[in-house]
Amino acid sequence: MDEQKIFEAMITILKPYTKDAALLERATKDTHILNDLKVNSARLVDVIIKCEDVFNITVDDDEADTIRTIGNAVELIQAKLA
């Protein structure tokens, strides 16, 4: 799966957890999930679990701890799918 498709899927995954949907329209790979999108830190785990379901991958604790931006998530998913 190419990077753009993973990015788009990430935007869809993040939608229910983002307080202001307009923020997602301007989102880039550098967008910080907690600071910029105002996703609750506790809900970040839900986002990662949703990624596991959508992409059929497993993300462990240490890997989850590295995800800060949408780009981090995209890179991790891409590496898992490779």
Partner 1 sequence: MLPFRAKALLLLQIGLGRMAAFILAPCYFAVIRLMGYRIRNLRAIRQACRREFQRHEGPWLICANHLTVADSLILSYAMLSLPAHLRLYRWIPWNLPERNNFQNPFLVLLCYLSKCIPVQRGGPREETKRTLDKCTYLLSRRQRLLIFPEGGRSRTGRVDREQFSYGVGRFLADGGGDLQVMCLYLRGDKQSSYSLLPGFGERFMVLMDVFKPEKSALTGLRAQRDYAGQIIQRLAEMEEKYYDIYRQRHCGSDRSRQYRKEQGQPVSAAGLHQR
User: Where along the sequence are the contacts to partner 1 (CB under 8 A)?
Assistant: 34, 40-43, 45-46, 48-49, 52, 58-61, 64-68
d(CA 25, CA 61): 29
d(CA 36, CA 38): 6
Residue type, 7: F
Query: Looking at beta carbons only, is 11 or 34 nearer to partner 1?
Result: 34
Q: Does residue 17 contact residue 40 with C-beta atoms inside 8 Å?
A: yes
- In the complex, minimum distance from the CB of residue 38 to partner 1, in angstroms, rounded to a whole number: 10
- In the complex, minimum distance from the CB of residue 64 to partner 1, in angstroms, rounded to a whole number: 6
- In the complex, minimum distance from the CB of residue 28 to partner 1, in angstroms, rounded to a whole number: 20
Query: Looking at beta carbons only, is 52 or 75 nearer to partner 1?
Result: 52
User: DSSP character for 69?
Assistant: B
